[in-house]
Amino acid sequence: MSDIRNETIPDGHEIEQAENEIKEDAHSIKRIFRQPKAAWAVAFACVVAFMGIGLVDPILPSIAAQMDATPSQVELLFTSYLLVTGIMMLITGWLSSRIGPKMTLLIGLVIIILFSTLGGLAGSVDELVGLRAGWGLGNALFISTALAVIVSVAGGGSAVAIMLYEAALGLGMSVGPLLGGLLGSIHWRAPFFGVAVLMLIGLLAVWILLTDMPKPTKKIPLSAPFQALRHPGLLTIGLTALFYNFGFFTLLTYSPFVLNLGEFGIGFVFFVWGVMLAIGSIFIAPSFETKMGTKKSLSLVMIGIIITLALMGIGADWPVFLIVMIALMGLLLGINNTVMTTAVMEVSPVERSTASAAYSFLRFTGGSISPWLAGKVSEHISIGAPYYVAAAAVLVGLLLFTARRGAMDRLS
């Protein structure tokens, strides 16, 4: 393993070069497995961190039943988590540039361990909502720093490092619901303790195996993400993502209530969804961009998402149909996530870490509204209505994206 103490966190230009290498180097997948221990340590922690997003999904109906709560009350577990994650994205760059990336990772992991453990001990839905908010803080600190750290320590080039990160994201998003379903079938508290144990292992691995990394030489001001959003292209992509993620998280958080399955059944459905998400993100999205360009790819995939969400509203009473549509949505969402992230990185001259923070602030805060609103809409209108609202939100994002295409002249 090479000495990484003299390496620095990559800047935006280096990550841009890495993304181009991904498209050009067909042998990167083979080299992804030849990594130093430090890279595997951070990648494992990434898997567990991303698992936390979907881990609660299969146990939402159980929590609602055992705590005598409505769907909208239980959905607040996602709302608080996503809202805090989005807001805290605004300060992660500022913090990391002052205390260093390794310390930022460790603090994020400690916070996740603390609040996931306390979540397993909670006695009411209100307590769980507050504790999930704390979990979101830790998640923001960890996820915002992990990509840059993996690029810095991984072997085989930056392209391989980014593929390793994307693989960790896909694995975490797919395994999270499955593990949540397995542990949730024992008791709804078990998934919270399970994450705490896995994150503790990740914490020890990062602490021991990740050699101390120097603090960045350039300190990022707190105002940087807000200044970045003054760029019309970046603001357009961010607002498009806000409405798109409304649809994304409606699907993820509301569907467990209409599938009429137990914890393991829900977990397995969203495991398949996560696998399709990873396939779309890693294997299909690059070819879409190469053949059609970023703008056309985003427009076509969002049209597909709108149609699929509308069909789910029509077929909300048919669980088998919903399962098929959820799997299809995983593929579409995976493609869209990767293409949209690429757009964020290319649309403006803003430093990539700052652009990512500004974009993440908008998309997570936008997504945070949808879980609670989906529950309310289903309670007062019909079980299919939340999908129609989600489709309408994605349509607003598509119309905004189309109307402001001129602001994104840097995109293909």
pLDDT in tens, 206-241: 898 887 677 777 888 999 999 999 999 999 999 999
User: Domain check: are 234 and 186 in the same one?
Assistant: no
- Mean pLDDT check: name the lowest of 52-66, 117-131, 250-264, 330-344: 52-66
Q: State the pLDDT confidence band at 180, using cuts at 50, 70 and 90.
A: confident
Q: State the pLDDT confidence band at 159, using cuts at 50, 70 and 90.
A: low
Q: What is the pLDDT of residue 29?
A: 53
With a cut of 90, say whether residue 329 has pLDDT above it.
Answer: yes
With a cut of 90, say whether residue 330 has pLDDT above it.
Answer: yes
With a cut of 50, say whether residue 1 has pLDDT above it.
Answer: no
Higher pLDDT, 150 or 319: 319
User: Domain check: are 216 and 93 in the same one?
Assistant: yes
Instruction: Kindly state the percentage of the chain with pLDDT values over 90.
Output: 38
With a cut of 70, say whether residue 79 has pLDDT above it.
Answer: yes
Q: State the pLDDT confidence band at 149, using cuts at 50, 70 and 90.
A: confident
Higher pLDDT, 154 or 67: 67
Residue 13 within any structural domain of the chain: no
Q: What is the pLDDT of residue 383?
A: 94
User: Domain check: are 267 and 182 in the same one?
Assistant: no
Q: What is the pLDDT of residue 342?
A: 78
Task: Decide if 128 contacts 77 (C-beta within 8 A).
Answer: yes
With a cut of 90, say whether residue 115 has pLDDT above it.
Answer: yes
Q: What range does the domain containing 294 cover?
A: 221-411
With a cut of 50, say whether residue 8 has pLDDT above it.
Answer: no
* Mean pLDDT for the chain overall: 84
- Mean pLDDT check: name the lowest of 53-62, 97-106, 374-383: 53-62
How far is Cα 304 from Cα 302, in angstroms, rounded to an integer? 5
Residue 15 within any structural domain of the chain: no
With a cut of 50, say whether residue 22 has pLDDT above it.
Answer: no
Residue where a domain stops, chosen among 220, 244, 274: 220
Residue 102 within any structural domain of the chain: yes
Higher pLDDT, 90 or 14: 90
Task: Decide if 289 contacts 298 (C-beta within 8 A).
Answer: no
Contacts from 307-313 at CB under 8 Å and sequence distance 24+?
307/391, 308/332, 309/247, 309/250, 309/251, 309/387, 309/388, 309/390, 309/391, 309/394, 310/387, 310/388, 310/391, 312/251, 312/384, 312/387, 313/384, 313/385, 313/386, 313/387, 313/388, 313/391
Higher pLDDT, 302 or 175: 302
Residue 3 within any structural domain of the chain: no
Q: What is the pLDDT of residue 301?
A: 96
Counted domains in the chain: 2
User: Domain check: are 277 and 373 in the same one?
Assistant: yes
Residue 164 within any structural domain of the chain: yes
Q: What is the pLDDT of residue 3?
A: 37
CATH number, position 288: 1.20.1250.20
Q: Which amino acid is residue 171, in one-letter code? A: L
How far is Cα 380 from Cα 362, in angstroms, rounded to an integer? 28
Residue 173 within any structural domain of the chain: yes
With a cut of 50, say whether residue 178 has pLDDT above it.
Answer: yes
Residue where a domain stops, chosen among 188, 205, 220: 220
User: Domain check: are 148 and 252 in the same one?
Assistant: no
User: Domain check: are 255 and 302 in the same one?
Assistant: yes
Residue 357 within any structural domain of the chain: yes
Q: What is the pLDDT of residue 17?
A: 54
User: Domain check: are 73 and 154 in the same one?
Assistant: yes
User: Domain check: are 71 and 122 in the same one?
Assistant: yes
Both tokens of residue 332? 């579409």
pLDDT (average), residues 149-172: 72
Q: What is the pLDDT of residue 31?
A: 61
With a cut of 50, say whether residue 401 has pLDDT above it.
Answer: yes
User: Domain check: are 226 and 213 in the same one?
Assistant: no
User: Domain check: are 202 and 102 in the same one?
Assistant: yes
How far is Cα 12 from Cα 152, in angstroms, rounded to an integer? 13
User: Domain check: are 257 and 323 in the same one?
Assistant: yes
Give the global pTM.
Answer: 0.84
How far is Cα 247 from Cα 214, in angstroms, rounded to an integer? 40
User: Domain check: are 287 and 212 in the same one?
Assistant: no
Residue where a domain stops, chosen among 197, 220, 243: 220
Residue 9 within any structural domain of the chain: no
